[in-house]
Amino acid sequence: MSMASIKFIKRTSFLTSSQFSSHLHRWIDSSSRNKPPVTSSGRFGTVYGGRQLHTAASISSDQLSTEAPSRQELNFPGGSVKFTSKRIFISGSNEERAHCYRVLNENGELVIDNDLLKITKELAVKMYTNMATLQVIDTIFYEAQRQGRISFYLTTTGEEAINIASAAALSNNDFVFPQYREPGVLLWRGFTLQEFANQLFGNKHDYGKGRQMHVHYGSKKHNYVTVSSPIATQIPQAVGAAYSMKMEKQDSCTITYFGDGSSSEGDFHAGLNFSAVMEVPVIFFCRNNGWAISTPISDQLRGDGIVVRGKAYGIPSIRVDGNDALAVYSAVYEARKMAIENQTPVLIEALTYRVGHHSTSDDSTKYRPVDEIEWWRNDQSPVKRFRKWIENKGWWSNDNESQHRSNIRKELAQAVQNAERTQKPPVADMFNNVYDVSPKNLNEQKESLRKTLKQHAKEYPSNVPW
């Protein structure tokens, strides 16, 4: 992935949509009074639907061809547009790609000191420890899958900054519509190691009652909508929830995460387009990590990534270095403010790299070079970079590091043991929540199953409770 071709910028600057919408409003205002839209050159009267209505001072055709100034612009449906006599096609590919906002370089040094939101030691340390915890979680659960203790897992390796820093910039009332590579957001909001383990082992404490695939976490109390497998469906749903917030005039927004692959789905188009029309407070956070399972970004799209699509929909957008926790934090912080104060959608594209395999069912060395993976894992590691920064500030030390990681490892190992030993959810629960109130036919089936289990107890596993 040629990251070298993107320039970094140090300032948050969103491409605005206000210019676009003001044209729209002007046209609607004028047409509602049933007057033909007035153009800037009044000499030839008005142009309405292609017909030219000449004024009393009509001009002869000679004058038309030699002296007449050409019409400057026209009120088409959608707004006033200036004319040009230069036949220039807007290029499909930019010479220069949209710049990427970055604050910390790979050495953990601030590139420039202005624009940075004041981040306290407490917040920075909390961000770092969560990023480190996320790494430990990924390592241990991945190994658990390899040991056959759980059947599936997917890691967030390389995207720890995206997970934690974005969550840190939000408030707990903001509704999160994740894809599946954002458990860090849940971790930040207080989901415990035990709760993660319970979901993965599908035991009776799992909030999903063992009905979901692994890593499909969900928690109502943390305002984190349960992960849904079909790709990109969360995008228009986040817009709908934002609409609900707008109607209730709440001081909150929704955020939805999705990858570069999701941006190809129809739902992406519908969600972004619609959010701009409805003017709702939603943050679209695209994790452009370069890979959709084995599909590289060059096979996924041919434009300049996802950030440039925002302007097409009338949405302010920014491209951010996804491996820079401070840049992600600052961009999401600002985006949230914009979304709520202006009731507008905002698009953030975080460029990063999916260091891990797509999931435990994937071996990415089969379709990409190992040294590429290792370079991103080591040289661009968001965790290492942020650690250098907080260590330089004197807020963290090697001792802190080893202590924190060993504590989390112990705690997590214990959580895994507990989760493994805990009973599975009761079979009777299988029939609940299909509807709000269980219908008669399901109750009949449940009763029928209960009788069958009792009668043929020998043929069913003995450790699964009723």
Partner 1 sequence: MWGILRQKVGDTGLSPQGLGNQMLRLRPATSAVRDYSAATKEMTVRDALNSALDEEMAADPNVYVMGEEVGEYQGAYKITKGLLDKFGPERVVDTPITEAGFAGIGVGSAYHGLRPVIEFMTFNFSMQAIDHVINSAAKSNYMSAGQINVPIVFRGPNGPAAGVGAQHSQCYGAWYGSVPGLKVLVPYSSEDARGLLKAAIRDPDPVVFLENELLYGESFPVSAEALDSSFTLPIGKAKIEREGKDVTITAFSKMVGYALKAAEILEKEGINAEVINLRSIRPLDRATINASVRKTNRLVTVEEGFPQHGIGAEICASVVEDSFGYLDAPVERIAGADVPTPYAANLERMAFPQIEDIVRAVKRACYRSV
Binding residues (CB under 8 A) for partner 1: these are 25, 28-29, 32-34, 175, 177, 206-209, 211-212, 216, 218-220, 225-226, 228-230, 233-245, 247-248, 254, 266-267, 269-271, 273-274, 277-279, 432-436, 439-441
CA pair distance 317, 308, nearest whole angstrom = 8
- Closer residue to partner 1, CB minimum distance, 41 or 432: 432
What is the nearest approach in angstroms of partner 1 to the Cβ of residue 452? Answer: 17
CA distances from 221 to 61, 131, 213, 252 (A): 74, 22, 20, 15
- Closer residue to partner 1, CB minimum distance, 258 or 291: 258
Polymer length of the chain: 466
Whether residue 177 contacts residue 237, with contact meaning beta carbons closer than 8 Å, is answered with yes
What is the nearest approach in angstroms of partner 1 to the Cβ of residue 432? Answer: 7
Residue 40 annotated to the active site? no
Residue 143 annotated to the active site? yes
- Closer residue to partner 1, CB minimum distance, 241 or 408: 241
Cross-strand bridge partners of residue 347: 284, 317
CA pair distance 375, 97, nearest whole angstrom = 23
What is the nearest approach in angstroms of partner 1 to the Cβ of residue 21? Answer: 9
- Closer residue to partner 1, CB minimum distance, 173 or 397: 173
CA distances from 457 to 418, 448, 466 (A): 27, 14, 11
CA pair distance 381, 378, nearest whole angstrom = 5
* Catalytic, out of 229, 244, 298, 402: 229
What is the nearest approach in angstroms of partner 1 to the Cβ of residue 54? Answer: 25
Residue 228 annotated to the active site? no
- Closer residue to partner 1, CB minimum distance, 174 or 324: 174
Backbone conformation region of residue 417, classed left if phi is above 0, alpha if psi is from -120 to 50, else beta? alpha
Closest CA to 202 of 432, 425, 359, 360: 425
What is the nearest approach in angstroms of partner 1 to the Cβ of residue 179? Answer: 14
Phi–psi pair at 433, nearest 5 degrees: 65, 10
Residue 411 annotated to the active site? no
* Catalytic, out of 219, 358, 364, 381: 358
So which residues are the catalytic ones? 143, 229, 358-359
